[in-house]
Structure 1
Amino acid sequence: MHRALLALSIAVMAAFPAYAHAPRPGPNGGLKVDAGANHHVELVVSGTTEVTVYLYDAADQPVPAAGCKGNAILLVDGATQRFTLSAADGNRLTGTSPVPVNPGVKGAIQVITPDGTTAQGKF
């Protein structure tokens, strides 16, 4: 009995990290992922060099981007592309990739909040 309960507990705990970081559709047409315990980020790309990242809190409410900055590290056609993200209006950070970025890109977004806290989302 105890072994079965222990095995079930381990299986459930093992499933949570995989689920928590799995990309899911965001409200702006991109993919949204967890970025630490208190943030979510949505990455929106459309085959151009323009990259937009939307910021949310843990309850999926928009977080103002004013004072935030960030970095993008994306793997595009087998090459790593690194560029900065700057605050735009609302809950958006924007940046320009050196090359066009298609939906489904893999990589990471780092966000630095005005108080110096960092959050990282992996796609």
Structure 2
Amino acid sequence: MTPRRHLPALLAGLVIAPLAARAHEARRGPNGGQKVDIGTNHAELVTAGNTLRLFLFDGADRPIPAAGATAQAIILASGRQATIALAPMGDNLLMGTGDFVAARGMRAVVTLTLPGQRPVQARFTPMDQN
């Protein structure tokens, strides 16, 4: 094939790729935290002091029960790493505390396992929202 035949597909890819990337960007959740895709669901991470709160939502942004779910967060904050276990604390909430202080620049990787499902992961930068 000549290079001209590939041009329309290349141009379409250049237009579609940024749109697809935006579909997975973090956004502000209803509790004021950072909300991202996690598996086929959504999770909102809210941080304050040394506490993490993880709110769970389905793909249509409806709360999903936290009962029976397990989660772990690996936090990198102030040059230190901490592992935090999150336990169900309410309807769609898992919560945990640990040896860290929430601050700009912190990063979190959350592994979530819902009952009967495989573990899924998401990355958060909860204090760096606009």
Matched, 1:3 2:6: yes
Q: Which has the larger radius of gyration?
A: 2
**Relative to 1, partners in 2 of residues 1:110 and 1:12: Cα closer, same or farther, differing over 3 Å?**
farther
Q: Which residue of 2 aligns with 1:117?
A: 118
Q: Which residue of 2 aligns with 1:70?
A: 71
Distance 1:45 1:17 in 2: 28
Q: CA deviation at 1:16?
A: 4.5
Q: CA deviation at 1:114?
A: 1.1
Q: Which runs of 5+ in 2 are unaligned?
A: 125-130
Q: Which residue of 1 aligns with 2:127?
A: none
The percentage of aligned residue pairs carrying the same residue is 35
Amino acid paired to 1:52: R
Which residues in structure 2 correspond to 1:1-123 (within 5 Å)? 2-36=5-39, 38-46=40-48, 48-102=49-103, 105-123=106-124
Amino acid paired to 2:108: G
Q: What TM-score, normalized by structure 2, do the two folds share?
A: 0.82
Distance 1:104 1:57 in 2: 28
4+ aligned runs moved over 4 Å, structure 1: none
Aligned pair count reads 121
Partner secondary structure for residue 90 of structure 2: coil
**Relative to 1, partners in 2 of residues 1:107 and 1:88: Cα closer, same or farther, differing over 3 Å?**
same
**How big is the alpha-carbon RMSD for the aligned residues of Structure 1 and Structure 2?**
1.8
Amino acid paired to 2:59: A
Q: What TM-score, normalized by structure 1, do the two folds share?
A: 0.87
Amino acid paired to 2:87: S
